Amino acid sequence: MAIVEVKVPQLSESVAEATLLQWKKKPGEAVAMDEILIEIETDKVVLEVPAPAAGVMAEHVVADGGTVVSDQVIARIDTEGKAGAAAVPAAAPAAAAPAAAAAAPAATGGSKGDVAMPAAAKILAEKGLQASDVAGSGKDGRVTKGDALAAGAKPAAAVAAPVAAPVNAAVAKPLPAVAAPVVQKLSDRPEQRVPMSRLRARIAERLVQSQSTNAILTTFNEVNMAPVMDMRKRFQDKFEKEHGVKIGFMSFFVKAAVHALKKFPILNASVDGNDIVYHGYFDIGIAVGSPRGLVVPILRNADQMSFADIEKKIAEFGQKAKDGKLGLEDLTGGTFSISNGGTFGSMLSTPIINPPQSAILGVHATKDRAMVENGQVVVRPINYLAMSYDHRIIDGREAVLGLVAMKEALEDPARLLFNI
């Protein structure tokens, strides 16, 4: 027997520990070289762990849901073994919650090769289901978070922690298996307790930190999007033919933001103790929704990017977020952020600053509205802009003028060419 250890990849310095999601290979199953064995969730990204060698999965040292650190051994592969050999049972993770360890055997991937998205895998584990038990609606048949939420739970007898039978079975419906103890309610008002993912817990921590440490104030303005829409319509076909990507509105917002940040550098600065750090570069964070929650990948040196570069990178980030493939390098840093609630139909919002940044731009849905121009009521496509800023270092003057500079750049895109 020749054993090869499977270890946790090197985590970044800011990540102390991570959580194993769902093993894709059971002990005794054949493993191919570089085949993805499991995904590991940190508070920032989901990392894939490939097989370091071909052979047979000998054992899981840490079960699904276990808490691990960099370079920790989580499994062993027998490079000389044969598939179907007696399997060594998975060791219960010492640092994992009891409920997570109990749910682990039921959450192991089935033999059909079904694949669950990271968020879906956790939900399936909590329900005591396998990926093969659910029909996936995602790409290549992947089980999405929506599929997992809609999936019914296995009978209560299959749950490791027994649930007391209801007094009136005709009235009460069985609750799904969850990570925490469940109390059956007779009034048909079930509740489910689900632990936060590491990413969701980290988002919560950072938002509370932002609210408690920054003196957040928000300034608003409205922008007539007709010039941008006309330019976009005029060049859309040629742009797509030349660059292989459609031109969206976000590239205009990014360019307008960089234009304003150059005029008012304090908007691109950050606070470090009693110091103000002025950044001589423009790394723009773009808030993107993903199955695991909100993530903010970074457009690095956005001032040096063309419209096509921005659109391609945003499309790449969107696909990576959907597939859970964003890496630490995609999410680290950033000097200013843009949040587009308009994608979901938002008319107005007050975005929260992403620490340690000092300002964030919120853009919204563009709608036709009645406006007064030269004493006449006209209809214009209007977008409401909102910029939240840290009043500790940014005064109202710079914030308001910065947002006006963005407005003017969008209402007269030629300004971006001449930097005026």
- Encode pLDDT of 35-50 as tens digits: 999 988 887 778 889 9
Length of the chain: 420
Above 60 in pLDDT, residue 186?
no
Kindly report which listed range (74-88, 102-116, 133-147, 269-283) carries the lowest average pLDDT score.
102-116
Instruction: Report the alpha-carbon angle 4-42-62, nearest 5.
Output: 40
> What H or E segment, with its residue span, contains residue 361?
strand 359-363
Asked whether the CA dihedral 384, 420, 264, 231 is positive or negative, the reply is positive
Catalytic residues: 391, 395
Kindly report which listed range (99-108, 132-141, 226-235) carries the lowest average pLDDT score.
99-108
Q: Are strands 30-31 and 55-60 parallel, antiparallel or unpaired?
A: antiparallel
User: Which residue in the block uniquely carries the two structure tokens 């990413």?
Assistant: 199
pLDDT score, position 175: 40
Would you call 277 exposed, middle or buried from its count of C-beta atoms within 10 A (0-12, 13-18, 19+)?
A: middle
pLDDT score, position 265: 97
Residues 284 and 337: beta-carbon distance below 8 Å = yes
Above 50 in pLDDT, residue 160?
no
d(CA 64, CA 96): 9
Segment 127-150 mean pLDDT: 72
Kindly report which listed range (161-170, 240-249, 314-323) carries the lowest average pLDDT score.
161-170
Above 60 in pLDDT, residue 172?
no
Above 90 in pLDDT, residue 181?
no
d(CA 118, CA 100): 15
Kindly report which listed range (30-39, 61-70, 86-95, 111-120) carries the lowest average pLDDT score.
86-95
pLDDT digits (tens, 9 = 90+) for 102-125: 333 333 344 334 666 666 777 777
Return mean pLDDT, the chain.
Answer: 82
Confidence of residue 96 (pLDDT cuts 50, 70, 90): very low
Segment 58-69 mean pLDDT: 91
Above 90 in pLDDT, residue 61?
yes
Confidence of residue 126 (pLDDT cuts 50, 70, 90): confident
Q: Are strands 336-340 and 359-363 parallel, antiparallel or unpaired?
A: parallel
Segment 276-300 mean pLDDT: 90
Q: Beta strands of 108-232 (E only): which ranges?
A: 216-224
pLDDT score, position 118: 65
- Residue 57 half-sphere exposure, CB side, CA atoms within 13 Å? 25
Above 80 in pLDDT, residue 398?
yes
> What H or E segment, with its residue span, contains residue 77?
strand 73-78
Confidence of residue 11 (pLDDT cuts 50, 70, 90): confident
Which comes out higher in pLDDT, residue 146 or 384? 384
Above 60 in pLDDT, residue 279?
yes
Above 80 in pLDDT, residue 280?
yes
Task: Report the candidate in 147, 102, 141 with the shortest Cα–Cα distance to residue 123.
Answer: 147
Confidence of residue 143 (pLDDT cuts 50, 70, 90): confident
Share of the chain above pLDDT 70, in %: 80
Give the number of other CB atoms < 10 A from CB of residue 13: 7
pLDDT score, position 163: 36
Token digits of residue 268: 């691109």
pLDDT score, position 185: 55
Above 80 in pLDDT, residue 419?
no
d(CA 217, CA 359): 10
Segment 53-77 mean pLDDT: 92
| Peptide bond preceding 190 in cis form (omega within 30 of 0) | no
d(CA 253, CA 255): 5
Confidence of residue 176 (pLDDT cuts 50, 70, 90): very low
Which comes out higher in pLDDT, residue 94 or 150? 150
pLDDT score, position 102: 36
Confidence of residue 12 (pLDDT cuts 50, 70, 90): confident
d(CA 22, CA 105): 10
Cα of 397 vs its chain's centroid, Å: 34
Which comes out higher in pLDDT, residue 17 or 169? 17
Name, in order, each residue with C-beta under 8 angstroms of 204's C-beta and a sequence gap of 6 or more: 196
Confidence of residue 333 (pLDDT cuts 50, 70, 90): confident
pLDDT score, position 169: 35
Above 70 in pLDDT, residue 100?
no
What's the whole-model pTM score? 0.63
Give me the long-range contacts of 203-210 (CB less than 8 A, separation at least 24).
203/293, 203/294, 206/354, 206/355, 207/352, 209/355, 210/352, 210/353, 210/354, 210/355
Rounded to 5 degrees, φ, ψ at 412 are -145, 75
Angle at which helices 98-107 and 118-127 cross, to 10°: 100
Confidence of residue 203 (pLDDT cuts 50, 70, 90): confident
Confidence of residue 85 (pLDDT cuts 50, 70, 90): low
